[in-house]
């Protein structure tokens, strides 16, 4: 009986020793877990977004006649540059010149009548003061003077209108720019304010680019500007990329005041104005635009390999605390900038995030953290 009891105690002591040895081995193994970390710090980053769009003329003027007539002459080269005030079309002006001459004659006759009425009214007033004419005769003379003055005013207005109509026979460019193809030729009959334009002048320097962006993205941008998390530079620069991927040599500017929304799609059209002195950009050209819309002060950037996601897509990072233990934190990311994530929430300056050795971690483990080596390019 004593022997059995002795055997049981011996077995118990041996098991306890094994457990202590196993625990010591595990503790020794935990202390030997090494991970590589990166210490986060605040920095300023420029935020950009790439959007697509097409170029449109900054000014478009459709040329239409304001008088009827036969086209006598075209004074421009199709596809060439015209300047504001330059003659584009000359209409037959014979009838309009005749109207001017006729109305000038009518004005001269009205002036002569006015002079006679003025003399008669003056003479009648003098005689009336000496009771040489009746009151009625004097009033008739004064009324005739006023009527003659009105006739002169009407004749002047009629003459001025005929001169304006004569001027309309010379159709000029309202703005400077590139003129397209003419819809009429010499000898064609055109009518005032016809629906079909004679030609179209487009101003291409500067040129506009209309970009599409979701309303959600634009509201987020404006909210960030209002809250001060972005540095509003007012004149937001835009880099334009051509269809072949080359960078357009001139920088554009985003004009928020010319934004509009499509009620059917919920997307905004952002307008960019770009210098175009060499006519590289033409209306309809497809471009990509990189908008540098703000600078985030005190931004936190974490290496991409330090951020892991679970099956639901929730992002997290493993942070080594001052006592050497590891804490898993849920984070909210904004976007990638190069090989780093821009962090909105969950991490702060001074945090040491693990970038290598994540597969070795277990709950409550104490690790040996070594700072990642910075490689210079």
Query: Do 301 and 40 meet the contact criterion of CB atoms below 8 Å apart?
Result: yes
Q: What is the pLDDT of residue 376?
A: 47
Query: Which residue did the predictor score with more confidence, 154 or 377?
Result: 154
Which residues lie below 8 Å from residue 304, measured CB to CB, with a gap of 6+?
A: 336, 339, 340, 341
Q: What's the confidence (pLDDT) of residue 377? A: 46
- Which pLDDT does position 334 carry in this prediction? 85
- The number of residues making up the chain comes to 377
pLDDT of residue 31: 53
* Domain residue ranges of the chain, discontinuous segments joined by +: 48-58+203-298, 66-91+171-196, 93-168
**The pLDDT of residue 237 is above 90:** no
- pLDDT of 35 over the 70 cut: yes
* pLDDT interval class at 236 (50, 70, 90): confident
Q: Read off the pLDDT of residues 112-136 as tens digits, 9 standing for 90 and up.
A: 999 999 999 999 999 989 988 899 9
Q: SS3 for 79?
A: coil
How far is residue 182's CA from residue 63's CA, in Å, rounded to a whole number? 10
- Taking residues 75-83, report their average pLDDT: 95
Convert the pLDDT of each residue in 243-274 to its tens digit.
Answer: 898 999 999 988 865 566 778 877 888 889 99
* Cα separation, 125 vs 142, whole angstroms: 8
pLDDT: is 142 or 229 the higher one?
142
Of the candidates 233, 288, 323, 307, the one whose C-alpha atom is nearest the C-alpha of residue 51 is: 288
pLDDT at position 225:
61
Average pLDDT, the chain: 86
Q: What is the DSSP letter of 325?
A: B
Model pLDDT, residue 46: 81
Q: Give residue 25's pLDDT band: very low, low, confident or very high (50, 70, 90).
A: very low
3-state SS, residue 271: strand
* Least confident window among 38-42, 211-215, 318-322, 349-353: 211-215
Only one residue has tokens 């509201």, namely 219
Structurally, at CATH architecture level, domain 66-91+171-196 sits in Beta Barrel (2.40)
Whether 221 shows a pLDDT value over 70: the answer reads: no
pLDDT band at residue 224 using 50, 70 and 90 as cut-offs? low
> Are 280 and 271 within 8 A, CB to CB?
no
pLDDT (tens digit per residue) in 99-114: 999 999 999 999 999 9
Rounded-to-integer distance, Cα 92 and Cα 214, Å: 53
CA distance 193 to 80: 24
The candidate with the shortest Cα–Cα distance to 160, out of 202, 90, 104, is 104
Nearest-angstrom CA–CA distance, 271 and 286: 14
Confidence class for position 216, pLDDT limits 50, 70, 90: confident
Q: Is the pLDDT of residue 83 over 90?
A: yes
CB 293 within 8 A of CB 221: yes
What does the pLDDT read at residue 329?
93
Which residues have C-beta within 8 Å of that of residue 111, sequence separation ≥ 6?
Answer: 152, 155
Strand partners, 343: 300, 333
Give the C-alpha distances (Å, rounded to integers) separating 281 from 34, 178, 226: 57, 13, 34
Q: Looking at residues 276-281, what average pLDDT do you find?
A: 92
The pLDDT score that the predictor gives to residue 288 is 94
Q: Before 192, cis peptide (omega within 30)?
A: no
Task: State whether CATH 2.40.30.170 applies to domain 48-58+203-298.
Answer: yes
Contact 81, 177 (CB under 8 A): yes
Lowest mean pLDDT among 7-11, 34-38, 223-227, 283-287: 7-11
pLDDT band at 57 (very low <50, low <70, confident <90, very high): very high
The residues near 284 (Cβ < 8 Å, ≥ 6 apart) are 54, 55, 56
Tell me the C-alpha distance between 356 and 34, whole Å: 9
Please give the helix or strand (H or E) that residue 56 lies within, else none.
strand 42-63
pLDDT value for 27 = 47
Q: Which fold, 93-168?
A: Helix Hairpins (1.10.287)
Reply yes or no on whether the pLDDT at 52 is more than 50.
yes
Yes or no: say if 202 and 57 are a contact pair by the CB < 8 Å rule: yes
With the C-alpha atoms ordered 84, 88, 89, 93, is the resulting torsion angle positive or negative? positive
Q: What is the mean pLDDT of residues 60-80?
A: 96
Instruction: Provide the pLDDT for residue 261.
Output: 74
Residues 256 and 268: their CA atoms lie apart, in Å, by 11
Residue 29 has pLDDT above 50, yes or no: no
Q: Are strands 34-39 and 368-371 parallel, antiparallel or unpaired?
A: parallel
pLDDT of residue 357 exceeding 80: yes
Three-state SS at 346: coil
Q: What is the mean pLDDT of residues 70-81?
A: 96
């Amino acid at each position: 009986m004593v022997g059995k009891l002795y055997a049981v105690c011996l077995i118990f002591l041996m098991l306890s020793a094994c457990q202590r040895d196993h625990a010591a081995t595990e503790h020794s193994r935990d202390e030997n877990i090494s991970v590589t970390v990166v210490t986060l710090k605040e920095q300023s980053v420029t935020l950009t977004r790439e959007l697509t769009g097409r170029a449109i003329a900054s000014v478009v003027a459709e040329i239409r006649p304001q008088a009827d007539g036969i086209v006598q002459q075209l004074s421009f080269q199709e596809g060439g540059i015209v300047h504001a005030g330059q003659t584009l079309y000359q209409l037959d002006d014979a009838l309009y010149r005749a109207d001017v001459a006729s109305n000038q004659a009518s004005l001269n006759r009205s002036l002569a009548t006015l002079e006679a009425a003025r003399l008669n009214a003056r003479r009648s007033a003098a005689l009336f003061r000496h009771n040489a004419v009746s009151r009625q005769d004097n009033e008739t003379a004064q009324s005739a003077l006023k009527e003659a003055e009105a006739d002169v005013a009407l004749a002047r207005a009629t003459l001025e209108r005929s001169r304006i109509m004569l001027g309309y026979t010379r159709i000029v460019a309202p703005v400077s720019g590139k003129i397209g193809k003419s819809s009429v030729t010499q000898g064609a009959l055109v009518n005032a304010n016809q629906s079909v334009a004679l030609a179209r002048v487009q101003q291409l320097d500067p040129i506009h680019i209309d970009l599409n962006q979701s309303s959600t993205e634009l509201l987020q941008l404006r909210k960030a500007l209002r809250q001060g998390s972005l540095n509003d530079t007012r004149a937001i620069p835009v880099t334009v990329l051509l269809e072949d991927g080359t960078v357009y040599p001139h920088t554009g500017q985003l004009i928020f005041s010319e934004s509009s929304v499509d009620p059917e799609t919920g997307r905004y059209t952002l307008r960019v104005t770009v210098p175009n002195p060499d006519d590289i950009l033409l209306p309809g050209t497809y471009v990509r635009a990189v908008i540098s819309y703000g600078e985030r002060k005190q931004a936190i950037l974490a290496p991409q390999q330090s951020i892991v996601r679970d099956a639901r897509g929730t992002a997290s990072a493993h942070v080594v605390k001052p006592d050497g233990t590891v804490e898993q934190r849920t984070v909210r990311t904004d976007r990638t900038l190069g090989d780093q994530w821009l962090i909105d929430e969950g991490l702060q300056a001074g945090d040491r995030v693990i970038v290598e050795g994540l597969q070795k971690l277990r709950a409550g483990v104490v690790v040996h953290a070594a700072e990642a080596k910075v490689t210079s390019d």
